[in-house]
Amino acid sequence: MSATTRHIRYVLAENPVTGLAFAGFALLIILALIGPDIVPFDPLASATDDALHPPTWMHPFGTDHLGRDIFSRVVVATRIDMQISIAAVALSFVFGSTLGLIGGWYGGPIDRAVGRLVDTIMAFPLFVLAMGIVAALGNSVANIVYATAIINLPFYARMARTETSARREAGFVEAARLSGNDDGRILMFHLFPNILPPMMVQISLNLGYAILNAAGLSFIGLGVRPPTPEWGIMVAEGANYIVSGEWWVALFPGTVLMLAVFCFNLLGDGLRDIVDPRRRT
């Protein structure tokens, strides 16, 4: 265990950006948890006489067309954006890796069926498929989560399948079988923990993509609806004002969205350094 800690410390020293990414991730989680309790203004309270005000000390991010405090809205939005992306990634991780494990383990017709499903999803441009799913299932936040989960499923299924079939004949699997474990136990407690590290990297990179996807869908008017504060919607609302020079309405939510995605991508790269044995010294 201490070797792992030492290794993590080594990686962080080697690449300080990873440390920064971890700090950013922690900040996002904290904001998602307590954001609504610490903001200075009610994110929904409008004050029309104070509309479209550029940033001041009182409103550090300015106010929008209804006089709502953009800073408070950006902070409060962290929760819903994180909820959507974490829920979506969790769903695609659980279902995708289960399908991949089963396909890679049993091979044959089951494997081909899983492969066919994955290929079908990948035959669409992913964002377009997400639009179609939300249009078909109905325009709600839950359906944004399902759509995002479905388009991310192939990545987990493919990865789990490859990693499983590579380890199917491994010594530790043989040993587990000889000590009387059935298939389910071997898959759950012996194979799954072994394929977890590369999957963690995928999860981190995927969280960024999931946030982008959800924000993109709400930017075009699907999923989260106004007046709920959400980064994609806030950028969409600001889009109308940017041609007349009110830059702050779109800039702040857009920048925070970008930083969040950037943070997840750096985190993914950092995690890869930690779990990739070739880089372990």
Partner 1 sequence: MGPPFLRLIRRRLLGALPSLVAVVVVTFLLTRALPGDPAAYFAGPAATPQAIEQVRKQLGLDRSLPVQFGAYLVALAHGDFGKSLTTGQNVGDDILARLPASIELTLCGLILALVVAIPLGVAAATRPGSWIDHSARMVSTAGVSLPVFFTGLLLVYVFYYLLGWAPAPLGRLDLFSTAPPTVTGLLLVDCLIAGDFETFRAAAAQLALPSITLGLFSVAPLARMTRASMLGVLSSDFVRTARASGLSTYTILVTYALRNALLPVVTTLGMVFSFLLGANVLVEKVFAWPGIGSYAIEALIASDYAPVQGFILTMAVMYVGLNLAIDLLYGLIDPRVRIEA
* Residue ranges in contact with partner 1 by CB under 8 A: 116, 119-120, 122-133, 135-138, 208, 212, 215-216, 219-222, 232, 235-236, 238-239, 242-245, 247, 250-251, 254-255, 257-258, 261-262, 265-266, 269
Shortest gap between Cβ of 264 and partner 1 (angstroms)? 8
Shortest gap between Cβ of 152 and partner 1 (angstroms)? 13
C-alpha to C-alpha distance for 276 and 281, rounded to whole angstroms = 10
Buried-exposed string 179-214: b where 16+ CB fall within 10 A, e elsewhere: eebeeeebbeebbbeebeebbbbbbbbbbbbbbbbb
> Between 119 and 174, whose beta carbon lies closer to partner 1?
119
Shortest gap between Cβ of 172 and partner 1 (angstroms)? 32
State whether residue 69 is helix, strand or coil: strand
Q: Which residues contact 262 (CB under 8 A, 6 or more apart)?
A: 208
> Between 99 and 235, whose beta carbon lies closer to partner 1?
235
Q: How far is CA 114 from CA 77, 89, 168, 183, in A?
A: 36, 19, 17, 18
Shortest gap between Cβ of 184 and partner 1 (angstroms)? 31
| Helices 70-106 and 192-219, packing angle to 10 deg | 140
Shortest gap between Cβ of 168 and partner 1 (angstroms)? 26
Q: Would you say the C-alpha torsion 128, 228, 32, 247 has a positive or negative sign? A: positive
- Residue 39 tokens read as 């903001």
> Between 195 and 235, whose beta carbon lies closer to partner 1?
235
> Between 41 and 219, whose beta carbon lies closer to partner 1?
219
Q: How far is CA 96 from CA 50, 62, 74, 203, 250, in A?
A: 49, 42, 32, 12, 35
> Between 77 and 257, whose beta carbon lies closer to partner 1?
257
Shortest gap between Cβ of 44 and partner 1 (angstroms)? 23
Q: Which residues contact 265 (CB under 8 A, 6 or more apart)?
A: 204, 205, 208
> Between 194 and 265, whose beta carbon lies closer to partner 1?
265
Shortest gap between Cβ of 158 and partner 1 (angstroms)? 13
- Residue 206 tokens read as 């995927």
Q: Which residues contact 17 (CB under 8 A, 6 or more apart)?
A: 266, 270
The half-sphere exposure of 164 on its side-chain side, counting CA atoms within 13 A, is 27
> Between 76 and 250, whose beta carbon lies closer to partner 1?
250
Shortest gap between Cβ of 37 and partner 1 (angstroms)? 27
> Between 138 and 193, whose beta carbon lies closer to partner 1?
138
State whether residue 63 is helix, strand or coil: strand
